[in-house]
């Protein structure tokens, strides 16, 4: 046995670790299950990586090559192709993975020493046998099954010939493959609450996920030039349910009778912490290239602001998506503008019925939504100006609803409370 293995064995015996003769079930995955293959050549190797420092997770990639290759070469080539994966150091000393769902590291405390509770380093096996060389000198060949995993959750045989990681292995997805992530959208025609005046119209959607997944959208009108941050702060100035914190901003919150949303649940959290979250933005699906304060917007743009924690980014960092379905934000008052007129509902609160006053003669579409944006009922009414339409509320649960009226291209919304 090589000197480094012999020395490590003595140290482990000294600390009384891994004295068991029982080897845990080593999780596996077949080449047929691999979704993301990297490299070209006649040789195929499956490379699985297992983390346990924060969340027990294991992912696997496929690696193709011609000629000779090593474990470290496979690992670094995969990391070069998949920006979610990072290999630290030439040994290596750490392997990390970061996307919209996972924030994984194999070394939570780089200063930890052998014997410390949080000590962890990457180790490896080939076909279940513990590596006999450094990763950079460990050869691989066609058909091999390579595993790299944290020492802290590896289970070794008493003779140090085998090492296993029991965490179930999931095939890594191809971040460049289309159709895997659908960025939720909403059209300008669906917007119920427009803020500002001008010839330019932009839809601004905001997506939260730190406590409750929710996404709302407003319309923003302006003349001349504007930025994402200007639109966001102007909307917040008009809608007191929305608050923008800081000039970056560092947080965006929303509070009403139904929701208490925040994009930053722990302001003290640092990058890498499980509860770290900050607002990010996109314009027409493309990740912002500037700060929100300098990111320009123009007529017809679709702007999204969302928490980093629930975003899904492309491997080249050009696009960012949030999948939470978007609900049109309603006006926070009980009376909403409809063209130059208003929509009113009474009695409000209502018990068994409520009446909506129609402000335009002709065809009016009246729709009631709950707080989740689900349609409760709808009707089309041809009426004269000022006519009242009855809405039955007897079968509705107690709570807050919104009555939307569309007429002659105008849209207005009024809040309705049912008790």
When the pLDDT of each residue in the chain is averaged and rounded to a whole number, the result is 82
**Distance between CA atoms of residues 197 and 367, nearest Å:** 26
- pLDDT of 176 strictly over 70: no
Residue 374 has pLDDT above 90, yes or no: no
Among 111-125, 168-182, 276-290, whose mean pLDDT is lowest?
168-182
Q: Tell me what percent of the residues of the chain surpass a pLDDT of 90.
A: 34
Each residue of 125-169: pLDDT tens digit? 999 999 889 999 999 999 999 999 988 788 888 888 889 998 899
- Which tens digit of pLDDT belongs to each residue from 25-66? 889 999 999 999 999 999 999 999 998 866 788 999 999 999
Cα separations in angstroms, 336 against 170, 331, 389, 403: 50, 6, 17, 10
Structural tokens at position 402: 């919104």
Helix then strand then coil, in percent of the chain rounded to 5, is 10, 40, 45
Q: Higher-confidence residue: 56 or 409?
A: 56
> Residue 4 pLDDT more than 70?
no
User: Cα–Cα distance between 374 and 389 in angstroms, integer?
Assistant: 21
Distance of alpha carbon 335 from alpha carbon 256, whole angstroms? 16
Coil, strand or helix: which one is 115?
coil
Q: What is the pLDDT of residue 50?
A: 92
How remote is the C-alpha of 125 from its chain's centroid? 33
pLDDT of residue 396: 87
User: Which residue ranges form the domains of the chain, and what is each CATH number?
Assistant: 3-171 (2.170.130.30), 188-328 (2.170.130.30), 336-418 (2.60.40.3080)
Closest C-alpha to 151, from 235, 76, 51, 55: 51
Q: Please tell me what DSSP assigns to residue 152.
A: G
Highest mean pLDDT (candidates 6-20, 261-275, 341-355): 341-355
Distances (CA, A) of 206 to 10, 180, 210, 247, 267: 57, 21, 13, 17, 19
For residue 165, give both structure tokens: 């990681």
Q: How far is CA 3 from the centre of its chain?
A: 46
């Amino acid at each position: 046995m090589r000197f480094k293995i012999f020395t490590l064995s003595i140290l482990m015996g000294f600390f009384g670790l891994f004295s068991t003769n029982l080897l845990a079930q080593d999780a596996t995955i077949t080449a047929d299950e691999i979704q993301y293959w990297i490299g070209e050549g006649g040789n195929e190797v499956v490379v699985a990586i297992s983390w346990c420092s924060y969340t027990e997770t294991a992912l696997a990639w496929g690696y193709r090559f011609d000629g000779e290759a090593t474990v470290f070469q496979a690992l670094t080539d995969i990391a070069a192709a998949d920006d979610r994966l990072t290999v630290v150091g030439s040994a290596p000393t750490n392997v990390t993975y970061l996307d919209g769902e996972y924030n994984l590291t194999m070394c939570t405390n780089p200063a930890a020493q052998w014997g410390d509770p949080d000590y962890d380093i990457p180790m490896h096996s080939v076909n279940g046998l513990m590596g006999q060389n450094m990763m950079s000198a460990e050869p691989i060949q066609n058909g091999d099954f390579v595993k790299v995993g944290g020492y802290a959750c590896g289970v070794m045989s008493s003779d140090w010939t085998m090492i296993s990681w029991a965490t179930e292995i999931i095939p890594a997805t191809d971040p460049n493959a289309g159709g895997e992530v659908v960025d939720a959208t909403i059209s300008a025609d669906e917007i119920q609450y427009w803020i500002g005046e001008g010839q330019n119209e932009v839809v601004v959607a905001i997506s939260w996920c730190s406590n409750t997944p929710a996404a709302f959208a407003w319309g923003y009108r302006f003349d001349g030039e504007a930025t994402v941050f200007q639109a966001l702060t102007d909307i917040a100035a008009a809608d007191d349910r929305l608050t923008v914190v800081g000039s970056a901003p560092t947080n965006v919150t929303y509070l009403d009778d139904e929701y208490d949303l925040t994009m930053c649940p722990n302001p003290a959290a640092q990058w890498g912490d499980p509860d770290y979250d900050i607002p990010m933005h996109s314009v027409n699906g493309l990740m912002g290239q500037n700060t929100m304060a300098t990111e320009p917007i123009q007529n017809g743009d679709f702007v999204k602001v969302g928490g980093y924690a629930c975003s899904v980014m492309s491997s080249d960092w050009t696009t960012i998506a949030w999948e939470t379905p978007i609900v049109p934000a309603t006006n926070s008052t009980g009376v909403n503008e409809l063209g130059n007129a208003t929509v009113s509902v009474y009695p409000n609160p209502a018990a068994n019925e409520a009446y909506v006053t129609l402000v335009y003669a002709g065809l009016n579409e009246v729709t009631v939504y709950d707080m989740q944006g689900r349609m409760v009922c709808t009707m089309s009414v041809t009426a004269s100006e000022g006519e009242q339409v009855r809405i039955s509320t007897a079968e509705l649960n107690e709570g807050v609803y919104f009555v939307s009226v569309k007429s002659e291209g105008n849209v207005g919304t009024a809040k309705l409370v049912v008790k």
